[in-house]
Amino acid sequence: MIIGLTGGIASGKSTVSNLIKLEGIPVVDADLIAREVVEKGETAYEQIVKVFGTEILTVDGTLDRKKLGSIVFSDEHKRFLLNDIVHPAIRVRMQEKIEQWKQEGFKTIVLDIPLLYESKLTNLVEKVIVVYVDQQLQKERLKNRDQYSDEEALSRINAQLPLKEKITYADEVIHNNGSLDETKNQLLTILTKWNCL
Ligand code: ADP
């Protein structure tokens, strides 16, 4: 079974992902893959340079992610162009990782995809777990983790699809408002129900 793990910023995805790994289930990390596919020399890297020009490169030839980010942030058309290059590359690389884990004999594989719904990658997975937290606590945890001000934290939370909406699409929800033990118990209940343990 291929399970998608998602949520919102600082809702507890990494925390749950670590608990899943402790159960011996492999986790494919979409954020890591998104960085891998634009490394110097990769096909997506070459395509990005072709479309956006060498001015989005740093002196050592790697992608200037900050510069690229600010270009596409203010220009929807360019954002679509970039996504059309990066998303298929991520999809292909994730499928390769799934195949590798399958060949190693794993029956359950988790894909940790923070923007699962936003990036329309739902067809890669059979079931989805959304890690939920109330917005006030989400903001506090985000501020503590990344040293953001109230406004910075809130603007990042508001840039994503609301967690309350994401849980309506989920097969299962982990409520991460309580202790780590409570979160772990919910996870184990779900994995047991789906025969993954
Ligand atoms: P995400 O990966 O979704 O961005 P994290 O797993 O990094 O979120 O969690 C955000 C922050 O909240 C981290 O600092 C983490 O240690 C903390 N955290 C997560 N879950 C809990 C919990 N149940 N109790 C207390 N702190 C938590």
Nearest 5°: the CA angle 184, 120, 13 is: 20
Which contacts (CB < 8 Å, 24+ apart) does range 69-75 have?
Answer: none
Q: What are phi and psi of 4, to 5 degrees?
A: -95, 135
What's the pLDDT tens digit per position in 21-37?
999 999 999 999 999 99
**Cβ neighbours around 97 below 10 Å, total:** 17
**Cβ neighbours around 39 below 10 Å, total:** 11
In the three-class reduction of DSSP (H, G, I as helix; E, B as strand; rest coil), residue 53 is classed as coil
Question: Ligand 1, residues 22, 129, 141: which to mutate, most atoms within 8 A of Cβ?
Answer: 141
Which among 153, 149, 147 has a CA at the least distance from the CA of 133? Answer: 153
Residue 121 pLDDT more than 90? Answer: no
pTM listed for this prediction: 0.93
Instruction: Give me the amino acid identity at 48.
Output: I
**Ligand 1 proximity of 176 Cβ (cutoff 6 Å):** yes
CA 11 – ligand 1 centroid, Å: 6
What would the mean pLDDT of 101-127 be, rounded to a whole number? 93
Residue 120 pLDDT more than 80? Answer: no
What's the pLDDT tens digit per position in 74-92?
899 999 999 999 999 999 9
Q: How many whole angstroms separate alpha carbon 175 and alpha carbon 168?
A: 13
pLDDT at 118: 82
Q: Mean pLDDT across the chain, nearest whole number?
A: 96
- Domains annotated for the chain, with CATH where assigned, are 1-26+108-192 (3.40.50.300), 31-105 (3.40.50.300)
Which among 146, 110, 142 has a CA at the least distance from the CA of 128? Answer: 110
What would the mean pLDDT of 136-154 be, rounded to a whole number? 97
Residue 62 pLDDT more than 90? Answer: yes
**Ligand 1 proximity of 9 Cβ (cutoff 6 Å):** yes
